Amino acid sequence: MAGSTYGTLFRITTWGESHGAGLGVVIDGCPAGLSLSEEDIQAHLDRRRPGQSRYTTKRSEEDRAEILSGIFEGRTTGTPISILVRNKDQRSHDYGKIKDCCRPGHADYTFNVKYGFRDYRGGGRSSGRETIGRVAAGAVASKVLGELGVRLTAYTRSIGDICIPPSEYHYDCISENALYMPNKEYAEKAAEYLETCMRNKDSSGGTVECVITGMPAGAGEPVFDKLDASLAKAVMSIGAVKGVEIGSGFRASRSKGSENNDAFFRDENGVHKRTNNAGGILGGISDGSPIILRAAIKPTSSIAQEQSTITNDGENTTIVVTGRHDPVIVPRAVVVIESMAAVTLLDMLMMNMPAKLENLKKLYK
């Protein structure tokens, strides 16, 4: 049990259900002395809010963040930052078959087995709203990282088969389309594809990519707590994610050593690599190049087609999952993936501080 805490030195604990009183996060271990306001949190929360386009749900969730602790006179004190988002849209409605059945692709069946029963309202703890706490924490981690010169950029790389080649990335248009894609033409094609899915009462998967620049070399621990392993867990822990890769990823499995190795060289600005198939991580440790990770996101499980399933009591039945559901989760996952990466990178930077005796001497002698 007890799986709602993440991180060691920068540690977040989330809580809350889709249709309970609210959701939130406690961020423990944020360094003291950071300027932080509710607006900093809100800016990130707004990026995951539904109701922003045709492709995200129409629910009018306000998701206002309230900071309950850990800030004094506008700065973090070093003590836990508790953030609360009240659920607004809790009108009781008829949950119908959802109450009694296990929706395919959802956690209804496994919650039933694990806990003996479940909060069936809107998916309960396994709702996408669970990510609110992650995003609020990510906002804080990103701000700390920003102070150290680390920048994160996440975006939709593909929806269905529509995949933007890296040569056609235009980062400045990410926030200009509802799908958070770094290319306007591909975003339009993807939008058309989603229209077709919606007409067919269907949904689509996609991939998200996150690039992190300015990451100091040296973060990440050899063996089990490698930086890439930690990022993999962070990202795979997000609801609909079914795969994670770093750098050349699965492509590396089809390539040769002479193609995949990144040659080092030095110029007047320091040490670099001619390519970055490693995705900024060698031996589990950041190498100073951009960190590149990708996540595969499955299509929305809630679809309005009839599906075979079982009741809570194990009887065969069918279900049509009605209600307001995104035809694609990917655009809303973008900020969540960025958030989990931010939390992980900051924690690993902290973990790395005592790696050398000279670092201890620098701070304590």
Supply 151's token pair: 């920048």
Binders of a copy of itself among 321-340, rule CB under 8 A? none
* Best CA proximity match to 245, nearest among 298, 299, 292, 182: 292
Burial of 121 (0-12, 13-18, 19+ CB in 10 A): middle
Region for residue 108 given its phi and psi (left: phi exceeds 0; alpha: psi -120 to 50; beta: otherwise): alpha
Binders of a copy of itself among 130-159, rule CB under 8 A? 130, 144, 147-149, 158
User: What's the number of CA atoms in the CB half-sphere (13 Å) around residue 18?
Assistant: 15
Binding segment for a copy of itself (CB under 8 A), chosen from 50-58, 76-84, 164-172, 174-182, is: 76-84
Binding segment for a copy of itself (CB under 8 A), chosen from 44-52, 57-65, 90-98, 293-301, is: 293-301
What is the spatial distance between Cα 115 and Cα 82, in angstroms, rounded to a whole number?
27
What is the spatial distance between Cα 142 and Cα 150, in angstroms, rounded to a whole number?
8
Binders of a copy of itself among 98-117, rule CB under 8 A? 102, 104-107, 109-111, 113-117
Closer residue to a copy of itself in complex, CB, 174/244: 244
Closer residue to a copy of itself in complex, CB, 6/169: 6
**Considering only residues 74, 94, 167, 223, which one is a binding residue for a copy of itself as defined by CB under 8 A?**
223
Shortest separation between residue 53's beta carbon and a copy of itself, angstroms: 19
**Considering only residues 80, 97, 178, 198, which one is a binding residue for a copy of itself as defined by CB under 8 A?**
80
**Considering only residues 61, 209, 228, 338, which one is a binding residue for a copy of itself as defined by CB under 8 A?**
228
What is the spatial distance between Cα 167 and Cα 182, in angstroms, rounded to a whole number?
11
Supply 52's token pair: 């922003």
32 in contact with a copy of itself (CB under 8 A): yes
What is the spatial distance between Cα 216 and Cα 190, in angstroms, rounded to a whole number?
36
Closer residue to a copy of itself in complex, CB, 104/172: 104
What is the spatial distance between Cα 345 and Cα 10, in angstroms, rounded to a whole number?
10
Query: Between vectors from CA 233 to CA 227 and to CA 239, what angle results, nearest 5°?
Result: 145
Binders of a copy of itself among 302-321, rule CB under 8 A? 302-303, 305, 307-310, 314-316
Size of the site for a copy of itself (CB under 8 A): 171
**Considering only residues 56, 287, 291, 341, which one is a binding residue for a copy of itself as defined by CB under 8 A?**
287
Q: Lay out the site mask for a copy of itself across 167-206 (x = CB under 8 A, - = otherwise).
A: ------------------------------x--xxxxxxx
Binding segment for a copy of itself (CB under 8 A), chosen from 47-55, 170-178, 182-190, 210-218, is: 210-218
| Whole-angstrom Cα Rg for the chain | 21
290 in contact with a copy of itself (CB under 8 A): no
- The sign of the dihedral angle between the CA atoms of 337, 339, 341, 343 is negative
